[in-house]
Amino acid sequence: MVSPASPFQTVAIAAHPEIPQAHEEAGQIADFLTERGFDAFYGFLYDEDLHARVTAGKVDLMIALGGDGTMLRAGHLCAPLDIPIFGINMGKFGFLMEFRHDEWKTAIEKLLAGDSWLENRMLLCTEQWRRDELMGRWEVLNEVVVSRGEIVRPVYLDASVDGRFLTTYVADGLIAATSTGSTAYALAAGGPILPPELRNILLVPVAPHLSIDRAIVLAEGSSVSITVHTDHQAVISIDGQTPIHLEDGDRVEARASDYTVQFVRIQDPGYFYRNLTPHMYNNPATKKVP
């Protein structure tokens, strides 16, 4: 048995439960690592057993098999534990991933040889307040969205930055995104693309009506507070998860988290700009089947 030379000794391999072949491929990766002297185990991303073993604090690396959503969920799990994440794309897009699933052997061999570096990505600590009561707290990798519900009417959103009133948005919603989230919903809503290493909050209104219609990049270290004024439905959505109901007067606050998501990278640090055009124009989800 070969003694591991990598700083990663115990590896968790998490597969997306709804992607065909993901679980089988996770098993192949586990066998590949075990044969090389590593302690490797695998399961679906939402398995209680996998979560228990990861949160026990004895994992040095997580390999995530799926798409960008898989990386988001892995980030939520691993960031508080300082566990780096290596992504292998088995989804449609994979903006956060470096390698396709048919390249995993080459990628992992480079990783085990020490040919890698860690990319730190900011999380948002997001809180929902109802008067003086804290209703919920989340760590957010992409974005928090405060928006209308199913009723197609805009909501009024008072936005303050560092405790100072900014403006009232009359809109379908307001996105508070990280640099990671700048290539997700914020991009679709017309926001700019931010380099991944930036620790700034990006504010992007969704379908604003007679109010500020431009995205705003806040200074590093700034926080934002969004107060909802509505007589109909309003919700908060965290990284695309199930929306949570908001009441009139509820306040959503977002600031840089104390936690950081660590992505393991093989490509050189210039990969982000080099990959922008292929990602923007070669999205498999938009290709028509002949």
pLDDT digits (tens, 9 = 90+) for 93-131: 678 887 888 889 999 999 888 888 999 999 999 999 999
213 is catalytic: no
Separation between Cα atoms, residue 50 and residue 164, nearest integer Å: 44
Check whether 6 has a pLDDT greater than 80. no
Check whether 194 has a pLDDT greater than 70. yes
Q: What is the mean pLDDT of residues 149-173?
A: 97
Name the catalytic one among 68, 172, 239, 250. 68
What pTM does this model have?
0.91
Check whether 286 has a pLDDT greater than 60. no
Which pLDDT score, from 0 to 100, does residue 2 have?
Answer: 40
Per-residue pLDDT tens over the stretch 205-214: 999 998 899 9
Which pLDDT score, from 0 to 100, does residue 288 have?
Answer: 44
Q: What's the pLDDT band for 219 if we cut at 50, 70, 90?
A: very high
Q: What's the pLDDT band for 1 if we cut at 50, 70, 90?
A: very low
Check whether 146 has a pLDDT greater than 90. yes
Average pLDDT of the chain? Answer: 91
Which pLDDT score, from 0 to 100, does residue 282 have?
Answer: 57
Which pLDDT score, from 0 to 100, does residue 3 have?
Answer: 40
Check whether 190 has a pLDDT greater than 70. yes
Question: Which of the two residues, 7 and 281, has the higher pLDDT score?
Answer: 7
Which pLDDT score, from 0 to 100, does residue 114 have?
Answer: 84
Structural domains in the chain, CATH included, are: 10-116+266-286 (3.40.50.10330), 123-258 (2.60.200.30)
Show Cβ contacts of residue 281 under 8 Å, excluding neighbours closer than 6 positions. Answer: none
Which pLDDT score, from 0 to 100, does residue 289 have?
Answer: 36
For 191: left if phi > 0, alpha if psi spans -120 to 50, otherwise beta; the answer is: beta
